[in-house]
Amino acid sequence: MPIINRIADFADEITSWRRDFHENPELQFDVHRTAGIVAEKLKAFGCDEVVTGIGRTGVVGVIKGRLNGSKKVIGLRADMDALPIEEATDVPYKSKVPGKMHACGHDGHTSMLLGAAKYLAETRNFDGIAIVIFQPAEEGGGGADVMVKDGLMERFGIQEVYGMHNMPGIPVGHFAIRPGPTAAAADRFTLVIEGKGGHAAQPHNSVDPILVASHVITALQSVVSRTVDPLDSAVVSVCTVKAGEAYNVIPHQATLLGTVRSLTPQVRDLSEARVRTIIESVCTAFGATAKLDYDRGYPVTVNDPEKTVFMAEAARAIVGDTAVDTSVLPMMGAEDFSYMLEQRPGAYIFLGNGDTPGCHHPAYDFNDSATPYGVSLWVKIIETGMPAR
């Protein structure tokens, strides 16, 4: 079965919503305009309940099907926030807000889930309850976690939950999914190395934090190459180095910022332990002091194997067998839908965005021709996951 016809009929309307969101990007939890429009539309579509302010600016819509005895409740989730990037496209609906743009396609995600809500509220061709979840702050704020902590799952009785993200490089009309770890855990650290400043011509009277930092950076490379099993995946990247001001002064301090990524809790624990030990030991060896802040960020996004099969099957029903890749490699990027998948079984799928610049690139744009596929998949999940009787 191709795209659902009724959805193709109002794809242009969904695109107009998307472009309006694109012109008016908002960051983190400050998605007041977007959340307001989402809530307004859900009410206009006739959702049975629309709740705002969950997870600060999150919005939830409840759509009851025919309720012929099924008590099943399925959650579908989209993210609403943009990024602090100056847009470098020349599309007519380019961002009107300097320094902010929808560079990850969350404008498309929000619009597609709105489209699904409109269709589901109109047709109600399922036996159970569909919950549409619109979250703030996917880009670094952990909005999904905040919604979960606000009682999202219990309050609406959600039993399974599904997420979707566009993916540049995958053709439009294709989907990709995998069971198990799909997106990485992302942790970060700030290290301040305290040495002893002094005259560059008298290094013996100082403890040079730049030399110590250099050894720390080099030694940290052994975590991935010599500590983690080569068949597992991990990333340790030092991405910021700050120290010194002059040609002839040994500074007092050096600061390093970095990220640590992994795909399993075991590798996550192992990497953190090694990073801590290496930093502490190297600094001590050189007579410097390490002040380390190590913060755990988003956990690993883990697809439930059974729900992955179900979601892939729903995707095949839309685009056919050959357009659904079920063995796509995991990505070392992170996704805060992981917090929802820690609470309930479910799965996260990639939707082809075609040959476009990558997510978070200033020339990126969500591909509107992918919209009917995404909306049709959402509807299919509800209609086949809770078939009408």
Residue 309 CB, shortest distance to Ni ion, in Å, is: 24
Using left for φ > 0, alpha for ψ between -120 and 50, and beta otherwise, residue 247 falls in alpha
Q: List, in order, residues 6 or more apart from 27 with CB less than 8 Å away.
A: 81, 82, 83, 84, 100, 139
Q: CA 14, CA 189: separation in Å to the nearest integer?
A: 41
Tell me which stretch binds Ni ion (CB under 5 A): 36-44, 104-112, 266-274, 378-386. 104-112
Contact string (CB under 5 A) for Ni ion, positions 284-323, x = contact = ----------------------------------------
Does residue number 184 form part of the binding site for Ni ion (CB under 5 A)? no
Select 62 or 167, whichever has its Cβ closest to Ni ion.
Answer: 167
Does residue number 42 form part of the binding site for Ni ion (CB under 5 A)? no
Does residue number 76 form part of the binding site for Ni ion (CB under 5 A)? no
Does residue number 83 form part of the binding site for Ni ion (CB under 5 A)? no
Decide: 353 and 18 in contact? Cβ < 8 Å: no
Tell me which stretch binds Ni ion (CB under 5 A): 97-105, 238-246, 281-289, 293-301. 97-105
Does residue number 263 form part of the binding site for Ni ion (CB under 5 A)? no
Dump strand ranges (E) for the chain.
49-54, 58-64, 73-79, 129-135, 160-167, 175-176, 180-183, 185-194, 198-199, 234-243, 249-250, 253-262, 289-295, 301-303, 324-325, 346-352
Residue 348 CB, shortest distance to Ni ion, in Å, is: 11
Q: Which member of 138, 145, 208, 368 is catalytic?
A: 138
Tell me which stretch binds Ni ion (CB under 5 A): 42-50, 101-109, 304-312, 346-354. 101-109
Select 310 or 373, whichever has its Cβ closest to Ni ion.
Answer: 373
Residue 103 CB, shortest distance to Ni ion, in Å, is: 9
Does residue number 132 form part of the binding site for Ni ion (CB under 5 A)? no
Q: How far is CA 196 from the centre of its chain?
A: 41
Tell me which stretch binds Ni ion (CB under 5 A): 100-108, 151-159, 312-320, 361-369. 100-108
Residue 43 CB, shortest distance to Ni ion, in Å, is: 26
Known active-site residue 13: no
Does residue number 85 form part of the binding site for Ni ion (CB under 5 A)? no
* Binding-site member from 27, 104, 153, 278 for Ni ion (CB under 5 A): 104
Other CB atoms within 10 Å distance of the CB of residue 7? 22
**Six-digit token pair at 259?**
């990220």
Q: CA 235, CA 228: separation in Å to the nearest integer?
A: 10
From the list 386, 372, 377, 259, the residue with the least C-alpha distance to 6 is 372
Q: CA 209, CA 195: separation in Å to the nearest integer?
A: 5
Decide: 212 and 282 in contact? Cβ < 8 Å: yes
Decide: 274 and 223 in contact? Cβ < 8 Å: yes
Residue nearest Ni ion, CB atom distance = 104
Q: List, in order, residues 6 or more apart from 285 with CB less than 8 Å away.
A: none
Residue 281 CB, shortest distance to Ni ion, in Å, is: 37
Q: Which residue has the tokens 């743009």?
A: 101
Residue 101 CB, shortest distance to Ni ion, in Å, is: 13
Q: CA 221, CA 122: separation in Å to the nearest integer?
A: 55
Select 104 or 117, whichever has its Cβ closest to Ni ion.
Answer: 104
Q: What is the DSSP string of 38-85?
A: HHHHHHHHT-SEEEEEETTTEEEEEEE---SS---EEEEEEE--BBS-
Tell me which stretch binds Ni ion (CB under 5 A): 98-106, 154-162, 174-182, 202-210. 98-106
How many residues touch Ni ion under the rule CB under 5 A: the total is 1
Known active-site residue 138: yes
Select 104 or 315, whichever has its Cβ closest to Ni ion.
Answer: 104
Residue 164 CB, shortest distance to Ni ion, in Å, is: 11
Tell me which amino acid residue 368 is: D
Q: Which member of 26, 79, 81, 365 is catalytic?
A: 81
Does residue number 129 form part of the binding site for Ni ion (CB under 5 A)? no
Question: Where on the chain is the footprint of Ni ion (CB under 5 A)?
Answer: 104
| Positions marked catalytic | 81, 138
